[in-house]
A and B are shown apart, each in its own frame.
Chain A
Amino acid sequence: MTNAVEQESIKVIVFQLADKEYAIPVSHVQGIEKLMHITRVPKTEKYVKGVINLRGVVTPIVDLRERFELPISEHEETTRIIIISLEDMEVGFVVDSANDVLDIPADSIEPQPEVVGSLEEEFISGVAKIDKRLLILLHLEKVLNPLK
């Protein structure tokens, strides 16, 4: 995410949380999985849902709704786990649905508007407007940081 602005355009995975659309650079995405059995890990942060068996690799799962302190919803048919790899970590994000892969031109990315809002604000590196869609670009390091 750090060098997103310098590039001409970046390819992102778009996913939905509550009523907003978010984006993560494809380069950090290892894959998108359907919801599977999550084993709870005791004594961890509330947003750490547990671990899954991702083809033999035990992968921790973070519920982004809980991470951003959004209202919790039941997991549905469209619920997906996006597997992120950042530095030497692999983590899965639970999202409402994974919608799209898009190319975002670098010049359509704007710094995040100065509005005092929810907790998610500090995890945002910028916003992009594409055909009336507003995409929120996530700052992955910050999303994962407090547990490191």
Chain B
Amino acid sequence: MEVNQYLEMFIEESKDHLQACSEHLLELEKNPDDLAIVQEIFRSAHTLKGMSATMGFEDLADLTHKMENVLDAIRNEKIHVSPEILDVVFESVDHLEEMVMDIANGGDGKRDVSSTVAQLKRIELGEEAIPEVVGTAETPTIAVASTLEYDGFEQTVISQSAEQGFNAFEISVRLREDCLLKAARVFMVFEILEKDGEVIKSSPSVEKLEDEQFDQQFYVAFVTKESAEDMQKKIMKVSEVEEVIVAAIEPKQHSEKEQAIQEVAATATATVEVAIPEKNTAAPKPATAAAPAKTDKSHAPVGNKTIRVNIERLDILMNLFEELVIDRGRLQSIATEVNHGELNETVERMSRVMGDLQTIILTMRMVPVETVFNRFPKMIRQLSRDLNKKINLEIIGAETELDRTVIDEIGDPLVHLIRNSVDHGIENPTARLAKGKPEEGTVVLRAYHSGNYVFIEIEDDGAGINREKVLAKAISKGIVTQEQSYSMSDKQINELILASGFSTADVISDVSGRGVGLDVVKTTIESLGGNISIESTQDVGSVFSIQLPLTLSIISVMLVEIEKEIYAIPLSSIIETSIIRSSEIMNAHNQKVIDFRGKVVPLVFLEEIFEVPRKEPQGDEFHSVVIVRKGEKLAGLVVDSFIGQQEIVLKSLGNYLTNIFAISGATILGNGKVALIVDCNALIK
């Protein structure tokens, strides 16, 4: 079977299911008696097993199957949930994740899992797991009729459609022996079927039918509102069909186990119910689509119709849209010149529509931070076991949305920071009790929007940062001098731990801290256009706060002019703009400075930095200054004039021009010309 086209879908969906497994397992750990959670896990595992077997990943299917057996036993109260059992199940999920990752990276998903499998087996047999139960789990396909077998999902569809007033039929179609175009006839039959209902299953599979890999007869399981006779007549209309037998499928024949799944399915989602009536109104689609559509439906969340789109396509869409924006700019200026009433009206209308379009395209690229956060509960669980600490992780604001590109980058820095909080922040239980704190430490992971930024905070109620220890270390490592240390604020001292070559843990553990972690975190966050700050009180706890731009592709800038060149300064760095007289400029250590609201601010003449060619020197008495900041430090960028504020699309300079001093990128202006974006961080030392 040609499976490559479904591989991507399979990988994505497997990840979703494994994520769901992990989440529910964590929940189960808290409420070991809640069997409804086990049902959820079982369902995910079961679907995963089916999918991986279809895709030919036997190891994956096999391990899932073993895990499923244990879950089944738990569900049927043959085994009682214990931390030891959960450990093994967690381990299995880890293995499964590795396998899926391997497949995603082009591997074959093979992995030595014999020890885990053995453990699963032991658990399964250790208690009085009744072989029959296991038996049904091993072959989840139960013969309902003599010819077709249905798995859990298909059973559910059948029984639910019965509840909905649909009839489930098993249709046997025999083609004439002299039929020449068997695939075409099959297609015609499927077309008729899909007009009136939903094909659940076919034997042989749709792919085989298309390749004419069958003799004369094939079977189809089908749900519809039509009667058996009508269906039979309709199919008989297809030429070269010799015989059609329509038999009803009795949903009652399901085993208890399948019914249990049904119940869960009924309470959890209503996808199937939604899907069937929809299919009736939808245009008939070719039979080829039947197989993928089937897998799709089983995972679609309730009332939220989504499709997966390759991020590259979104990028292309964005690029095309950007071109449109540039053309709009031209059109606008032409319209102003021509001054034609109707033209102006049309251009204005187009601009409005494009404004809406831009909002939609940008929001399409937004992903909730949940996709990053959801891996942390498991990580914390593992860490707390490894370190013998008791830790409770609270996640707040997981629904906060961020641009996809930021999401992709932010995962690793967050892992570092959380590991850091758990390892260095939270004390061990005895130390905590001695300090009069609750035995269990708390780590809060919080995300929220504020203005054009998203903030992510990692807060712990641990030991906090030891000022003296940090300072002594920084001095011994030569990061700061003794003299400098006297004038440093608490905040500055805290931020020393982000400097490269810094590690305060007395014992280097493999959890965190070789001093390589936190400075990488800082660099990554700054490269994303964000920044990180630390608040800490000794023995009370620390808060690591990350500020990130909402999106990387569109930013607000202030356009400034130097001679005839236009530069863009990100609004996020600008504090304010001001006009100063030449007489206000003072000199300090060969550096021109101004007094700005009581602070001495050094001036940076962009004209000099960017070596702007100027025909005659500017003899102006007034200077336009943009005050920018980097952290606590300020600088005044001297330019010729301000043009104004604008939303711009960030573009890279490509792979040929890299590491250009004080330029972070480029953008295309309304007139089609390129303007460079000033990197204020590089200008402030």
| Interfacial residues, chain A to chain B (CB-CB below 8 A) | 37, 39-44, 48, 50-53, 55-60, 88-91, 144, 147-148
> Which residue of the partner chain, among A56, A91, A147, contacts B322 with CB atoms under 8 Å?
A56
Measured CA separation A59–B676 after assembly (Å): 12
Given contacts A53-B672, A53-B673, contact A58 B565 (CB under 8 A): no
Given contacts A42-B610, A42-B612, contact A53 B657 (CB under 8 A): no
Measured CA separation A37–B660 after assembly (Å): 20
B611 lies within 8 A of A41 (CB): no
Measured CA separation A58–B674 after assembly (Å): 7
- Judge whether B214 is part of the interface by a CB distance below 8 angstroms: no
- Judge whether B651 is part of the interface by a CB distance below 8 angstroms: yes
A39 lies within 8 A of B657 (CB): no
B660 lies within 8 A of A42 (CB): yes
Measured CA separation A39–B651 after assembly (Å): 14
- Judge whether B654 is part of the interface by a CB distance below 8 angstroms: yes
A37 lies within 8 A of B672 (CB): yes
Give the residues in chain A near B320, CB-CB below 8 Å. Answer: 56
Q: B443 to chain A: closest CB distance in Å?
A: 41
Given contacts A39-B666, A40-B565, contact A58 B672 (CB under 8 A): no
> Which residue of the partner chain, among B326, B609, B653, contacts A42 with CB atoms under 8 Å?
B609
- Judge whether B55 is part of the interface by a CB distance below 8 angstroms: no
> Which residue of the partner chain, among B654, B666, B672, contacts A90 with CB atoms under 8 Å?
B654
A58 lies within 8 A of B663 (CB): no
Q: A75 to chain B: closest CB distance in Å?
A: 16
B663 lies within 8 A of A56 (CB): no
Give the residues in chain B near A40, CB-CB below 8 Å. Answer: 565
Give the residues in chain B near A55, CB-CB below 8 Å. Answer: 323
**Nearest neighbor of A55 in chain B, beta-carbon distance:** B323
Measured CA separation A59–B326 after assembly (Å): 16
Give the residues in chain B near A52, CB-CB below 8 Å. Answer: 674
- Judge whether B668 is part of the interface by a CB distance below 8 angstroms: yes
8 contacting pairs across A/B (C-beta < 8 A): A39-B676, A51-B653, A53-B326, A56-B319, A56-B668, A57-B319, A60-B654, A89-B656
B656 lies within 8 A of A147 (CB): yes
Q: A9 to chain B: closest CB distance in Å?
A: 30
B668 lies within 8 A of A58 (CB): yes
- Judge whether B661 is part of the interface by a CB distance below 8 angstroms: yes
Q: A102 to chain B: closest CB distance in Å?
A: 27
A58 lies within 8 A of B656 (CB): no
Measured CA separation A139–B651 after assembly (Å): 29
Q: A63 to chain B: closest CB distance in Å?
A: 14
- Judge whether B655 is part of the interface by a CB distance below 8 angstroms: yes
**Nearest neighbor of A86 in chain B, beta-carbon distance:** B656
B660 lies within 8 A of A56 (CB): no
Given contacts A56-B319, A58-B666, contact A43 B652 (CB under 8 A): no
Q: A51 to chain B: closest CB distance in Å?
A: 5
**Nearest neighbor of B613 in chain A, beta-carbon distance:** A40
The residue in B651, B656, B672 that gathers the most chain A C-beta atoms within 10 A of its C-beta is: B656
> Which residue of the partner chain, among B319, B660, B672, B675, contacts A44 with CB atoms under 8 Å?
B660
Of all A-B residue pairs in the complex, the 3 with the closest CB atoms, nearest first, are A42-B610, A39-B674, A56-B323
Q: B367 to chain A: closest CB distance in Å?
A: 24
Q: A143 to chain B: closest CB distance in Å?
A: 11
15 further contact pairs, Cβ within 8 A, besides A51-B653, A58-B651: A37-B674, A39-B675, A43-B610, A51-B657, A51-B666, A51-B674, A51-B676, A52-B674, A53-B668, A53-B673, A56-B326, A58-B653, A58-B654, A58-B666, A91-B654
Measured CA separation A91–B655 after assembly (Å): 9
Measured CA separation A22–B204 after assembly (Å): 63
Given contacts A39-B666, A39-B674, A44-B660, contact A60 B653 (CB under 8 A): yes
B673 lies within 8 A of A43 (CB): no
Measured CA separation A56–B674 after assembly (Å): 9
Measured CA separation A88–B673 after assembly (Å): 23
